[in-house]
Amino acid sequence: MADVQRSVSRELDRIAPVIDDLGRRFSDAGHELALVGGPVRDAMLGRQHNDLDFTTSARPEQTERLLQGWADAIWDMGRAFGTIGCRRGEWQVEITTYRSEAYDPTSRKPDVDFGDSLAGDLGRRDFTVNAMAVTVPGRQLEDPYGGIVDLAHQVLRTPGRPEDSFSDDPLRMMRAARFAAQLGFTVAPEVVDAMRAMAGRIEIISAERVRDELVKLVTAPYPRRGLALLVDTGLADLVLPELPALKLERDEHHRHKDVYEHTLTVLEQAIDLEPRLPGGGPDFVARFAALMHDVGKPRTRRFVDDGTVTFHHHDVVGAKMTRKRMKALRFSNDDIDAVGKLVELHLRFHGYGTGEWTDSAVRRYVRDAGDQLERLHVLTRADSTTRNKRKADRLQRTYDDLEARIAQLREQEELHSIRPDLDGNQIMEILGIGPGREVGAAYQFLLDLRMDNGPMSEDDARSALLAWWAGRVS
């Protein structure tokens, strides 16, 4: 407990320029103000925040007036929910009026009622570790629901009955999984039971809110914990059904590995490889591609007469399924295209053998991967989960060789920007034609030639183009 108090005191001293000044401003106007939720929890965990959440007895219009002259910028996009945001220097601040919110069984949006006490406001929060507050400027800790004890035991529990909490806001069920992934905490058994019993309530939540929680979960330090909880409670059946579907019924001779466990292992191995990526991670696209790379297997599994099990074209089928799921979750087109491309290409390397690819095949690998090449490197390496160390080492050495060849060709030929040796204007001038399909066909011919043979001189490209054209028109 002493360590917790020291951590909180250090963090409160660090953010004193905001909390003390703002607290006096509200107190002088006759209003209560308290730092609340994540910043208080993380202060106890020794983590720093520059995004500060407050709760107040003041109504939104009163909060806005009190911030004028103090904040560098003010915004009110959350006014309907009682929230006014602002920025002061390096600090981002959100101040929300005491409230209680509940969902109508058929509505996707909460009905918001303003409350009149800090204790009441804390009681409607998702978990006890987020239901602690520090009043300002007095710096009095308020913990009516035992958040400090639960924090010490690393357990997620609701302030009241979990059934009531999840009925009020079903998204809290996904938040339980997300916080398990972010904090590495255990979810209390009664909370898990309520999630299992009430999983169907998640269907009233908008796809966008579900997506945002899923992104936070996948990019958390321990995503396997959160994903396993979604699967175990049945929530994944509703928000990401492709994941529990990977729990294939094992054939009696266990001729294929557990695809679900394999997938979670690939995800963890992809996370370990994130330092290879620009920015070093967490990288949602790479992680989600690892999570989805084998989702086509259940639909493509076949038992062959000789006793083997096949999953032919599961890469192509899986890419289509991935795009469909991400579209339903309202992901951006850029994210959908990136993840879909990685899933579709994740098996391509296995045609490399022990280095039999021609330079042409290497060029096509790079071109098809495009701006996802580095993530494809990560996914392909992570997809090796064999327990046979000799086989695993051989796969890694082979991929090392492929990367070395890519680097060599890239240095020689600027692989990242492969184009035909003649552009569209030159094609039209040489062939004496105007814009149209013929120009596109000629461009593709020259691009294929460039892939097969590497760079050509303009004269050689011209001769090849004319020969190709003569064959078409003859």
139 and 2 co-located in one domain:
yes
148, 40 contact by CB (below 8 A)? no
Among residues 181, 210, 240, the one where a domain terminates is: 240
Contacts 24+ apart (CB under 8 A), 280-288: 282/219, 282/220, 283/219, 283/375, 284/215, 284/218, 284/219, 284/335, 285/335, 285/338, 285/339, 285/342, 285/372, 285/375, 286/342, 286/375, 286/378, 286/379, 287/218, 287/219, 287/223, 288/218, 288/339
Mean pLDDT rounded to a whole number for the chain: 88
Lowest-confidence pick of 51-60, 264-273, 292-301, 414-423:
414-423
Both 385 and 254 in a single domain?
yes
Asked if residues 450 and 456 have their Cβ atoms less than 8 Å apart, the reply is: yes
Find the mean pLDDT for residues 381-397: 86
Q: Do 79 and 17 share a domain, yes or no?
A: yes
* Residue 416 confidence (pLDDT) above 80: no
418-474, pLDDT tens digit by residue?
A: 677 788 888 888 888 888 888 888 888 888 887 777 778 888 888 888 888 888 765
Q: Is 297 exposed, middle or buried (0-12, 13-18, 19+ CB in 10 A)?
A: buried
134 shares its domain with 172: no
Dist CA 345 CA 368 (whole Å)? 8
The tens digit of pLDDT for each residue in 339-378 reads 999 999 999 988 777 778 888 888 888 888 988 999 999 9
What one-letter code names the amino acid at 356? Answer: E
- Using CA atoms, how far residue 92 sits from 83, 95, 116, 309, 431, in Å, is 13, 10, 25, 55, 61
First to last CA, the chain: 88
Residue 282 preceded by cis peptide, ω within 30: yes
Q: Once rounded to an integer, what is the mean pLDDT over residues 273-300?
A: 93
Q: What is the pLDDT of residue 260?
A: 93
Helix (H, G, I), strand (E, B) or coil at 455: coil
- Domain membership flag for residue 245: no
Is the domain of 73 the same as that of 164? no
What's the number of domains the chain is made of? 4
Q: What is the pTM of this model?
A: 0.82
* 368 touches 348 (CB < 8 A): yes
Query: Residue 251: what pLDDT?
Result: 47
**In a shared domain, residues 58 and 138:** yes
Average pLDDT of span 163-191: 95
- Where among 186, 220, 240 does a domain terminate? 240
Instruction: To the nearest 10°, report the CA torsion of 38, 41, 46, 51.
Output: 20
Residue 170's alpha-carbon distances to 163, 227, 242, 470, in angstroms, are 9, 17, 21, 67
Q: Decide if 298 is inside a domain.
A: yes
Span of 150-154, 272-276, 280-284, 324-328 with lowest mean pLDDT: 280-284
Residues 255 and 401 in one domain: yes
Residues 143-157: tens digit of each pLDDT: 999 999 999 999 999
Residue 252 pLDDT more than 50?
no
Q: pLDDT value at position 467?
A: 85
* Rounded average pLDDT over 66-92: 92
Distance CA 290, CA 271 (A): 9
The pLDDT-based confidence of 49 (bands split at 50, 70, 90) is confident
pLDDT of 394 reads 87
Whether residues 329 and 349 fall in one domain: yes
CB 124 within 8 A of CB 116: no
Of the listed ranges 167-176, 302-311, 422-431, the one predicted with least confidence: 302-311
Q: What percent helix, strand, coil does the chain show, rounded to 5?
A: 60, 10, 30
Average pLDDT over residues 108-133: 85
**Per the domain annotation, does 412 fall within a domain?**
yes
* 373 and 279 within one domain: yes
pLDDT of residue 114: 84
- Mean pLDDT of the 288-314 span: 87
- Across the range 227-240, mean pLDDT stands at 97
Question: Mean pLDDT over residues 36-49, rounded?
Answer: 89
Which structural domain, as residue segments, surrounds residue 256? 250-417
Q: What are 188-215's pLDDT values in tens digits?
A: 999 999 999 999 999 999 999 999 999 9
Residue 29 shares a structural domain with residue 80: yes
